[in-house]
A and B are shown apart, each in its own frame.
Chain A
């Protein structure tokens, strides 16, 4: 007696060459993204004059603000691939969403930490209950829940379906959380973007955003590659245990 469905599905995946051999993230992407960060940071620090109120403290913006953008970008990736997973049920979409969630949570944590380090001298407090801070923290907690759910679920199919649902519904909540906290209280300075910024700072910010975007792509690709390898190992072990090839 052998469980037909399971054996077939896993050996199908093994026969499919693209599934068996995960994509290799080339090493140049690592060098390029790290190099871009070094160049962008150096450029930004050398060209930006000391800011009127904050002095050189303003330089923290070159990591804090792009990191916040990358947080939202990677969670958008989680949302998009979660929805596509639920729609088409392709395993790789699940792995990509999970990789983006891990990277997004890292950028999210970085944003929060840097924001606090910036806020302490600029506002005199580590934390204020303002809309953007609070909703960024809530976003962090939502995706901590997402990653915890993955960690506490053993069945890979269940893990994929559940985390896709949590990822999609969690992302849906982000604008609602933001609006509700904004109504509740607001204190943050207007968001830093090239449009609101003194032109002497914009180029540095743009360059750093591009650099961190490359870092984010590299991290997600690398994490995705590892996830694919892990999954391929599981499938092989499963096939071997079933007495297959």
Chain B
């Protein structure tokens, strides 16, 4: 059992999940469309003042991401459960954490594509001016998405197997994501406004710490959670 074998398992599971999604497309299309729909609804609820919309843009994009992303996480396990594939997956040799890592990677790819669409829609709909320091903005987005996907995948591994999974996953996940939401929105707002207070750096460090803490914690806890 070497690291290379483990990495191969991770990649195999991620590739399987991404391939399933690519072939079906219905899942991705509907989740991404839902994200854009939520943005439009938020725009209608908060508009039509252009200045107000621009101020609310970051929060709107993050809320749309959370509410549509939560559907993606449950899907990634539900697909396994519906075809009775989770138990055979658990029977394969090799450490269990590779299953989590594979699911994580698959969800990360899925969510990254979805966020790209939601952010593009947000920029257009809410009239956001792209700042000169846009790479940092993408970094903040990426760190936020990692935090979201780590906890989302972890909680979905439980919620998708319980009764009432539709309501249970957001109920478990959203309170846990409060630091991600605060850090990502505040840092993004600071970067969009040229960061005169130099506060984005502290929030980015918080995001990095959050991602690391929960990456480690969920990897440790997953072995206990996935047992049939």
Contacts and interface: CB of A to CB of B under 8 A. Distances in A.
Interface residues of A, number: 29
Given A169-B218, A169-B221, A176-B210, A149 B158 contact: yes
B171 A144 contact: yes
A138 B171 CA distance: 11
Interface string A165-176: 110111011001
Given A152-B162, A172-B217, A179-B206, A145 B172 contact: yes
B176 A180 contact: no
Interface string B166-199: 0110011011101100110010000000000000
A177 to B, nearest CB: 5
B168 A149 contact: yes
B221 A152 contact: no
B218 A162 contact: no
A169 B178 contact: no
Contacts of B225: 161-162, 165
A183 B164 contact: no
B22 interface: no
B163 A172 contact: no
Interface in B117-175: 154-155, 158-159, 161-164, 167-168, 171-172, 174-175
A183 B202 contact: yes
A186 interface: no
Task: Identify the interface centre among B163, B179, B183, B217: most chain A CB within 10 Å of its CB.
Answer: B179
Contacts of A165: 158, 221, 224-225
Given A152-B168, A161-B225, A169-B221, A141 B175 contact: yes
Given A152-B162, A169-B214, A180-B182, A86 B176 contact: no
A181 interface: yes
B108 to A, nearest CB: 19
Nearest to A157: B227
A141 B175 CA distance: 6
Contacts of A138: 175, 178
A141 to B, nearest CB: 4
Interface residues of B, number: 33
B52 interface: no
A81 B199 CA distance: 38
A184 interface: yes
Interface in A59-79: none
B217 A145 contact: no
A80 to B, nearest CB: 15
Contacts of B214: 169, 172-173
B221 A168 contact: yes
B213 interface: yes
B225 to A, nearest CB: 5
Contacts of B176: 142, 169-170, 173
Interface in A119-177: 138, 141-142, 144-145, 148-149, 152-154, 158, 161-162, 164-166, 168-170, 172-173, 176-177
B171 A145 contact: yes
A34 to B, nearest CB: 33
Given A148-B171, A149-B172, A162-B158, A173 B179 contact: yes
Interface in A86-107: 86
Contacts of A86: 221, 224
Nearest to B170: A145
Contacts of B206: 176, 179-180, 183
Nearest to B228: A158
A61 to B, nearest CB: 27
A168 B221 CA distance: 9
Given A154-B163, A179-B206, 18 more contacts: A86-B221, A138-B175, A145-B172, A149-B162, A152-B164, A153-B163, A161-B224, A162-B225, A165-B224, A165-B225, A169-B176, A169-B217, A170-B176, A173-B214, A177-B179, A180-B182, A180-B183, A181-B182
12 contacts: A86-B221, A138-B175, A145-B168, A145-B171, A148-B168, A153-B158, A153-B162, A162-B158, A169-B154, A169-B176, A173-B176, A183-B186
Closest 9 A/B residue pairs (Cβ): A141-B175, A180-B179, A145-B172, A165-B221, A152-B162, A162-B158, A152-B164, A142-B175, A152-B163
